[in-house]
Amino acid sequence: MTYRSKWSYGGHLLKGQRAALPVVSNEEDHSIVMFSSRDSMGRSYGLCSSLISLFPPKVGEPRLVLKHGNPGSFDVAGVMPMQSIEGYLFYIGWTLRKDVPYFNYSCISEKRGNYYKKIGPILGPDIYESGFSSFFHAVKYEDRYLGYYLSVIDWSNDEKGNLNPNYDIKIAESNDLINWKRLNLTAISLNKDEAGIGAISIIKHQKIFHAWFSVRKGKNFRDDPSGGYRIEHATSHDGILWSRDKNYSIMPGDFVGSEKMAAYPSVYIAGESVIIFFNGNGFGEDGIFWCHMPLNELLGANE
């Protein structure tokens, strides 16, 4: 059976600007997209643009919302903003180590005007998970929040001998978005020769959770589509047990600008359409791409 994407190409946002890891969120009476760029020393910093229009999406002028920390801090090497929810902003804090190239923390900050005041890491290494965590996304389910995060399992060498983390997506829960308890459960597991699953984005339609996430192999994943990042899909009825499928994938080469990779999805519903933001070649070096499909294309609760 020949693969054919169900997505239709929509356009290109922030073209010519570095805009890595786009994440769409709702804030009070408007929607925003968070993303990161880099300074002259290679440190990521957080930017935010208002979504002036949801479909077709149009963005306002980016503004700075988050900067790297001071020497000795958990985010001295850079920050990457993610989901904004209930006045809090999840973000990735980067630091450096000597045994491995880098180490990340899932962090949270609180909105103060147009800026965000850092609270600190919400998940750190413990007796259950010794690796780092990042790419955090939360959803409300019944009387609690479920948090999905990248969890590093181990490290391996790529085709050039460089160390890279291997990771899947695990689940935590919270009552207040700040204090999180690991459930020691894997939401999305690695398959076959996969080495990394992360950057999850979740919407709910007809009582079913739909998740999109990035997947890569352990070698040749930066410039070779055979091992490069692709976007895949999974569903769940309770947010705990997930089933992967190929129904709504975006593969390298599906659209112009993503010949080598399609990574870091963020999905939202606008009227009768589903919109997906993602990065193409070079992890967002040339801005954000977006695609769309009819909402009724999604599998419903009775299918």
286 to 24, 51, 125: CA distances (angstroms): 18, 19, 34
Q: Identify the pLDDT of residue 136.
A: 97
Q: Residue 39, Cβ neighbours under 10 Å: how many?
A: 11
Residue at 91: amino acid letter: Y
pTM, whole model, 2 decimals?
0.95
Q: Where are the alpha helices (DSSP H) in the chain?
A: 281-284
Radius of gyration, CA atoms only, the chain = 18
Query: Each residue of 35-94: pLDDT tens digit?
Result: 999 999 999 999 999 999 999 999 999 999 999 999 999 999 999 999 999 999 999 999
- Backbone phi and psi for residue 124, each to the nearest 5 degrees, phi listed first: -130, 170
Query: Each residue of 227-277: pLDDT tens digit?
Result: 999 999 999 999 999 999 988 999 999 999 999 999 999 999 999 999 999
Residues in Cβ contact with 110 at an 8 Å cutoff, skipping those fewer than 6 apart: 87, 88, 89, 116, 117, 119
**What domains, with CATH codes, occur in the chain?**
8-297 (2.115.10.20)
Query: Each residue of 90-123: pLDDT tens digit?
Result: 999 999 999 999 999 999 999 988 789 999 999 9
Length of the chain: 303
Single out the residue of 123, 106, 67 nearest to residue 200, CA to CA.
106
- Contact between 177 and 85 under an 8 Å Cβ cutoff? The reply is yes
